[in-house]
């Protein structure tokens, strides 16, 4: 039987994993403000890129176009940039938690390749799901409302995946047929 202290440690570790983006963002803001206060503000501008490099080395993750835009806007309006980046960090953590819950509903061999649709485009999740389906992939909405899609180990879209649990599925219509624009004709849920 696990000790209460061991359970607290596991709970703390889970909280850190669930809020990684917010923790990194807040730490970066505090460090940048501190450097600015001691007259080293220009060094504070390197904290965000340094965090991106560390994330890439540790997790293979890269900043999104939105992250880079927010970073750039921070030079124009520091306080607004900090507020927007904090909000984005909270949203990113929420998406990551929802994607993790969806992954756990699928077979273990597919889990590493299930991605949030937000990593595929910057439109609304439903529009991105349609784009994925028209490009030959399967996207689905989990029970928690998050849209995800599946790739193979090489990052290519998977055309014929059947999620184990989904509110809605978007995929190319079978038999596979292309529209005049070269995209797949797709359908939702029952096709």
Q: Are 11 and 79 in contact (CB under 8 A)?
A: no
Looking at residues 28-40, what average pLDDT do you find? 61
Query: Pick from 191, 188, 187: which is nearest to 167 by CA?
Result: 188
Global pTM reads 0.63
Q: Say what the pLDDT of residue 119 is.
A: 92
Q: Are 161 and 151 contacting, i.e. CB atoms less than 8 angstroms apart? A: no
pLDDT at 30: 65
Residue extents of the structural domains in the chain: 4-104, 111-188
The pLDDT value given to residue 117: 97
93-117 tens-digit pLDDT? 899 999 999 999 999 999 999 999 9
Look at the chain and count its residues: 191
Q: Where is 156: in which H helix or E strand? A: none
pLDDT at 33: 65
Does 50 have pLDDT greater than 90? Answer: no
What is the C-alpha to C-alpha distance for residues 24 and 30, in angstroms, rounded to an integer? 10
**The 147-150 sheet, strands edge to edge:** 114-116, 147-150, 139-141, 168-172, 186-188
For residues 22 and 88, is the Cβ–Cβ distance under 8 A?
no
Percentage above 70 pLDDT, the chain? 59
Strand partners, 169: 140
159-179 per-position pLDDT tens digit: 989 999 999 999 999 888 999
What is the pairing mode between strands 114-116 and 139-141? unpaired
Check pLDDT > 80 for residue 69. Answer: no
**Residues of the chain above pLDDT 90, percent:** 45
Local confidence band at 87 (pLDDT 50, 70, 90 cut-offs)? confident
């Amino acid at each position: 039987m696990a000790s209460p202290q061991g359970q607290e440690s596991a709970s703390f570790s889970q909280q850190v994993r669930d809020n990684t983006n917010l923790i990194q963002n807040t730490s970066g803001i505090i460090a940048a403000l501190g450097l600015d206060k001691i007259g080293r503000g220009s060094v504070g501008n390197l904290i965000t890129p340094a965090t991106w490099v560390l994330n890439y080395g540790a997790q293979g993750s890269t900043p999104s176009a939105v992250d880079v835009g927010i970073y750039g806007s921070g030079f124009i309006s520091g306080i607004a940039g900090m507020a927007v980046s904090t909000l984005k960090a909270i949203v990113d953590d929420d998406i990551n938690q929802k994607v993790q819950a969806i992954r756990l509903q699928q077979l273990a061999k597919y889990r590493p390749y299930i991605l949030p649709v937000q990593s595929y485009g910057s439109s609304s999740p439903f529009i991105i799901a349609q784009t994925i389906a028209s490009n030959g992939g399967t996207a689905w909405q989990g029970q928690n409302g998050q849209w995800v899609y599946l790739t193979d180990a090489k990052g290519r879209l998977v055309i014929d995946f059947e999620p184990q649990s989904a509110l809605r599925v978007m995929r190319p219509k079978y038999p596979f047929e292309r529209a005049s624009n070269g995209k797949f004709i797709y359908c939702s849920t029952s096709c």
